[in-house]
Amino acid sequence: MSTKRICVITNMYPGPLSKTFGVFVHNQVASLRENGHQVDVVAINDPRMGKKYVIRKYLSWLLQFLFTFLFRRGKYDVIHAHYVFPSGMLARLMKKFSKAKLIVTAHGGDIDRMARKNAFIFNQTKRALQEADGVVAVGERLKQDIVADFRVKEDKVEVMSMGVNREVFKPVPKQQAKQDLNLDQEDFHILYVGNIIRAKGIAELLEAYKGLSSEKVQLHLIGEVKEPAFKEELVETVERDEIKGVHFRDSVPQKQLSRWMSAADLFVLPSHMEGLGLVALEAMACHTPVVGTDVGGLSVVLADQAGELVPPKDPEALKNGIMNVMQNEKQRKLYVENGEAVASQHDHKHLLKRLEMLYE
């Protein structure tokens, strides 16, 4: 396998303000570099969403791109865009003026939400997908949408998640992990990890948790606050309804996140839509059972008794799913066993080899 000169273009990447913003792209870049590839990154690394921040960070990103386009475009073998729009639009432009192969990775929101905003974005998404030499979809459902809605040839689309680093996300005995995090050993700890936004189903999770009515259950919400007004709404609900045991926590580095996933008795991902649900796979790799909504990639990841699937936007069904796992130790063990098998299929080392073959 020959080493490649690669330009990664992405609108999500970790930076000084957030170590978790697009961390999955960073992890893939780091693995490619470890394998000897030369990788340059043209990225947005500021997660802030206010108007002045958005204007500033996109202008900075465009200047980075312009410099790379003018002075470096001829040196690359591969241009790899993460997120079809807007990254794929810039990558397609660079491909037109270089001999590099173009690979585009669709992560879910770029197809399910962004592409549906208006005709311009839809058409730019379609052109990037059709003109790419290869398309990576992080889930099977996402591939089906790309083929059907954007008229991309099926044999050009590879289903390949960003992968789980099994050296980081690995099981630790729950009692030990709880002790390390100063969690009550006797309580049942429910964990959510992801952006604090409405589309992740956190309002439904809070409603479902309220219905569990037990002082021995704790809910931990770890993630970036991307919608401050929504976060305030959640906090007001907790205070108004006097919901006990709800903890909002800032994002943490991946090694610490792995410890949280090992400590949790149950991981819940109640998204309204989900390209894959990588955090669910990471929890499964830590031998924690998962309850997730029957949407997108989660429908596949949690199929065949690998986890508990519930309808989206349905707090009562979510509550019943959580209770089913809480009260059934045999079911929990089955989900852990089957979840480990699924997580092994998404080992990042195996998937990196497939990506390198795609580059070839």
Place of tokens 């309808």: 311
Judged on CB neighbours under 10 Å (0-12, 13-18, 19+), 250 is: exposed
Task: Provide the β-strand partners of residue 80.
Answer: 8, 103
pLDDT (tens place) for every residue of the chain, 360 residues total: 789 999 999 999 999 988 888 999 999 999 999 999 999 999 999 988 888 999 999 999 999 999 999 999 999 999 999 999 999 999 999 999 999 999 999 999 899 899 999 999 999 999 999 999 999 999 888 999 999 999 999 999 999 999 999 999 999 999 999 999 999 999 999 999 999 999 999 999 999 999 886 779 999 999 989 899 999 999 999 999 999 999 999 999 999 999 999 999 999 999 999 888 899 999 999 999 999 999 988 999 999 999 999 999 999 999 999 999 999 999 999 999 999 999 999 999 999 999 999 999
Report the pLDDT value the prediction gives residue 314, as an integer from 0 to 100: 97
Per DSSP bridges, beta strands 246-249 and 217-222 are: parallel
pLDDT of the residue at 17 = 87
Across the strands, what pairs with 42?
9
Task: Say how many Å lie between the first and final Cα of the chain, rounded.
Answer: 8
In this prediction, residue 124 carries a pLDDT of 97
pLDDT value at residue 213: 67
Is the CB of residue 84 less than 8 Å from the CB of residue 110?
yes
Nearest of 187, 190, 169 to residue 179 by alpha carbon: 187
Tell me if 5 sits within 8 A of 101, measured CB to CB: no
Evaluate whether 192 touches 203 at the Cβ level (below 8 Å).
Answer: no
Q: Which of 219, 224, 250 is nearest to 237 (CA)?
A: 219
- Name all domains of the chain by residue range, CATH numbers in brackets: 5-160 (3.40.50.2000), 174-345 (3.40.50.2000)
The contacts of residue 360 (CB under 8 Å, 6+ apart) are: 1, 2
Give the 3-state secondary structure of 273-303: CCCCCHHHHHHHHCCCCEEEECCHHHHHHCC
